[in-house]
């Protein structure tokens, strides 16, 4: 049994704690949150230890590995502390909102052989994985285009948006990683456009966008198009399409059930989409924990690590630069600066 402590008992930490506890080869070693009420609630829900500090977690011989689900600004510090304590890490995205802090973290952890997994959960969605596998198995021939649609069901609270670091670092970062996962080649250029259509005043205030498109191109010319909106009236819209020389494969939205109704004044009517990420990606979040356990316990090859987190943030920086300068931005420009 891999004994995993969860740092951060907010929206996603509580879910991870339950998933860790439910995994047949993992157990929840305890939890910590600077909000002691949140920590107590989560700890008592599972009957596990509530640590008094992060240092106590990292020093504990009863903790084999840590899952970092705290506020983004703490991730780099906690990754570094985990590496010093020689505890494998599963860290939520993004590593940090500031690329310089990510580079510093990279230099501080050096070439550690400890698994440092990034929580890019969409890689573990059964539909998205099956689509990629169809491409890898040659079913759609040579890959030409990846089309990723990711729209949230509604605007997050103002305070969340204000602290988010902007849509590309906060939201599109998942899609940047998914595009890299699907394309099978590194991206060379990013072109992006952004609009303020959902909440123009808030977006203006934050110098952010609520409606964006990014076009990514690899060396061989493969393209990925990412379409994001902070608000889709019909729910959480999550689709991925791979188009190749021999065909196309689509990972579709998930619904509350898969009944379709055909009645007098409507045909092909189906249930609403699963509302948000915890429901839509429930299987993927479980599979993510499963992969982490497999890596740490069985030495499986880590599928998504620190470098993936760094590269996704570089794509986010390139997208902001593309809008600011009205041109396609080469990734090498960001990596150099
Ligand atoms: N993979 C995904 O789909 C996904 C979805 C949502 C959030 N996230 C990421 O997960 C992280 C947490 O997001 P959330 O929505 O759960 O936020 P949240 O605000 O609900 O929870 C964060 C928790 O961290 C705690 N915290 C803050 N600083 C701390 C510290 N120094 N030590 C210990 N605890 C601390 C807060 O008290 C809070 O309880 C963020 O980095 C976010 O980007 C990922």
**Residue 65 is part of a domain; what is its CATH number?**
3.40.50.720
Atom 37 of ligand 1, nearest CA residue: 35
Residues 41 and 190 in one domain: no
- Tell me whether residue 306 is in a domain: no
Residues 220 and 81 in one domain: no
Residues 247 and 154 in one domain: yes
pLDDT 10s digits, 65-103: 999 999 999 999 999 999 999 999 999 999 999 999 999
Which of 92, 114, 136 terminates a domain? The answer is: 114
Residues 17 and 161 in one domain: no
Residues 104 and 157 in one domain: no
- Tell me whether residue 239 is in a domain: yes
- Tell me whether residue 293 is in a domain: no
- Is the CB of residue 167 below 6 angstroms from any atom belonging to ligand 1? no
The whole-number pLDDT of residue 335 equals 75
Residues 135 and 159 in one domain: yes
- Residue carrying the six token digits 């021999």: 246
> In sequence order, what are the beta bridge partners of 239?
149
- Is the CB of residue 12 below 6 angstroms from any atom belonging to ligand 1? yes
CA separation for the pair 329, 313 (Å, rounded): 14
How many Å lie between the centroid of ligand 1 and the Cα of residue 101? 18
- Tell me whether residue 300 is in a domain: no
Rounded to two decimals, what is the model's pTM? 0.96
Alpha-carbon 134 to chain mean position:
22
CA separation for the pair 295, 190 (Å, rounded): 32
How many Å lie between the centroid of ligand 1 and the Cα of residue 80? 17
Alpha-carbon 21 to chain mean position:
21
> In sequence order, what are the beta bridge partners of 213?
193, 227
- Is the CB of residue 54 below 6 angstroms from any atom belonging to ligand 1? yes
> In sequence order, what are the beta bridge partners of 305?
117
How many Å lie between the centroid of ligand 1 and the Cα of residue 128? 25
- Is the CB of residue 119 below 6 angstroms from any atom belonging to ligand 1? yes
Range(s) of the domain holding residue 151: 123-279+311-336
String of DSSP letters for 157-223: PHHHHHHS--HHHHTHHHHHHHHHHHHSS-EEEEEEEEE--S-HHHHHHHT--SEEEEEEEETT--E
Residues 104 and 143 in one domain: no
How many Å lie between the centroid of ligand 1 and the Cα of residue 270? 34
> Does pLDDT of 235 surpass 80?
yes
Strand 247-251 with 187-195, pairing: unpaired
- Tell me whether residue 299 is in a domain: no
pLDDT 10s digits, 95-136: 999 999 999 999 999 989 999 999 999 999 999 999 999 999
pLDDT 10s digits, 23-43: 999 999 999 999 999 999 999
The whole-number pLDDT of residue 336 equals 64
The number of distinct structural domains making up the chain is 2
CA separation for the pair 236, 174 (Å, rounded): 14
Which of 68, 90, 114 terminates a domain? The answer is: 114
Residues 184 and 103 in one domain: no
- Is the CB of residue 7 below 6 angstroms from any atom belonging to ligand 1? yes
The helix-helix angle for 11-22 and 282-298 (nearest 10°) equals: 60
Which of 5, 7, 12, 166 maximizes ligand 1 atoms within 8 Å of its Cβ, making it the mutation to test the pocket? 12
**Residue 239 is part of a domain; what is its CATH number?**
3.30.360.10
Atom 26 of ligand 1, nearest CA residue: 70
Which of 88, 114, 140 terminates a domain? The answer is: 114
How many Å lie between the centroid of ligand 1 and the Cα of residue 93? 10
What would the mean pLDDT of 254-268 be, rounded to a whole number? 93
The whole-number pLDDT of residue 288 equals 98
- Tell me whether residue 47 is in a domain: yes
- Is the CB of residue 70 below 6 angstroms from any atom belonging to ligand 1? yes
Residues 221 and 101 in one domain: no
The whole-number pLDDT of residue 146 equals 98
- Is the CB of residue 179 below 6 angstroms from any atom belonging to ligand 1? no
pLDDT 10s digits, 140-184: 999 999 999 999 999 999 999 999 999 999 999 999 999 999 999
Cβ(122)–Cβ(308) under 8 Å? Answer: no
Cα-based torsion angle of the residue sequence 265, 270, 276, 282 in order, rounded to the nearest 10 degrees? 170
- Cβ atoms within 10 Å of 258's Cβ, excluding its own: 8
Which of 52, 69, 71, 122 maximizes ligand 1 atoms within 8 Å of its Cβ, making it the mutation to test the pocket? 71
How many Å lie between the centroid of ligand 1 and the Cα of residue 20? 16
pLDDT 10s digits, 190-199: 999 999 999 9
Residues 160 and 11 in one domain: no
- Is the CB of residue 184 below 6 angstroms from any atom belonging to ligand 1? no
Q: What atom in ligand 1 is closest to the CA of residue 170?
A: 43
The whole-number pLDDT of residue 2 equals 97
Residues 194 and 95 in one domain: no
The whole-number pLDDT of residue 313 equals 98
> Does pLDDT of 337 surpass 70?
no
Question: How would you label 87-97 residue by residue, b for 16+ Cβ within 10 Å and e otherwise?
Answer: bbbbbbbbbbb
> Does pLDDT of 323 surpass 80?
yes
- Tell me whether residue 286 is in a domain: no
CA distances from 301 to 63, 113, 116, 226, 291 (A): 22, 12, 12, 28, 9
Cβ(105)–Cβ(274) under 8 Å? Answer: no
String of DSSP letters for 269-282: EEPPBP-SHHHHTH
- Tell me whether residue 102 is in a domain: yes
Q: What atom in ligand 1 is closest to the CA of residue 121?
A: 1
Percent of the chain with pLDDT over 90: 98
CA separation for the pair 260, 268 (Å, rounded): 5
Alpha-carbon 265 to chain mean position:
40
- Is the CB of residue 95 below 6 angstroms from any atom belonging to ligand 1? no
CA separation for the pair 40, 14 (Å, rounded): 11
Residues 147 and 244 in one domain: yes
Calculate the average pLDDT of the chain: 97
CA distances from 246 to 1, 137, 142, 144, 250 (A): 45, 12, 7, 10, 14
């Amino acid at each position: 049994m891999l004994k995993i402590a969860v740092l951060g008992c907010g929206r996603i930490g509580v879910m991870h704690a339950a998933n860790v506890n439910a995994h047949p080869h993992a157990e929840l070693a305890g939890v910590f949150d600077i909000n002691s009420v949140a920590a107590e609630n989560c700890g008592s829900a599972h009957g596990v230890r509530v640590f008094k500090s992060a240092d106590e977690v990292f020093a504990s011989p009863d903790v084999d590995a840590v899952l970092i689900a705290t506020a983004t600004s703490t991730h780099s510090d906690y990754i570094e502390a985990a590496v010093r304590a020689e505890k494998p890490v599963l860290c939520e995205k993004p590593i940090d909102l500031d690329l310089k802090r990510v580079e510093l973290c990279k230099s501080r952890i050096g070439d550690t052989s400890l698994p440092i997994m990034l929580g890019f959960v969409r890689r573990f969605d059964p539909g998205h994985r099956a689509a990629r596998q169809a491409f890898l198995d040659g079913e759609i021939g040579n890959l030409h285009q990846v089309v990723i649609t990711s729209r949230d069901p509604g605007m997050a609270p103002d305070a969340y948006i204000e602290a988010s670091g902007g849509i590309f670092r906060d939201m599109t970062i998942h899609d940047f990683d998914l595009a890299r996962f699907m394309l099978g080649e590194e991206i060379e250029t990013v072109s992006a456009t952004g609009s303020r259509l959902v909440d123009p005043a808030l977006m203006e205030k934050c110098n952010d966008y609520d409606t964006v498109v990014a076009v990514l191109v690899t060396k061989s010319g493969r393209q990925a198009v990412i379409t994001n909106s902070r608000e889709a009236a019909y729910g959480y819209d999550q689709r991925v399409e791979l188009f190749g020389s021999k065909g196309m494969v689509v990972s579709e939205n998930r619904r509350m059930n898969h009944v379709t109704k055909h009645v007098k004044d409507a045909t092909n009517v189906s249930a609403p989409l699963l509302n948000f990420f915890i429901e839509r990606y429930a299987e993927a979040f479980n599979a993510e924990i499963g992969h982490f356990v497999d890596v740490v316990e069985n030495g499986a090859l880590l599928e998504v690590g620190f470098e993936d987190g760094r590269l996704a943030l570089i794509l986010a920086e390139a997208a902001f630069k593309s809008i600011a300068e009205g041109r396609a931005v080469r990734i090498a420009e960001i990596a150099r600066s």
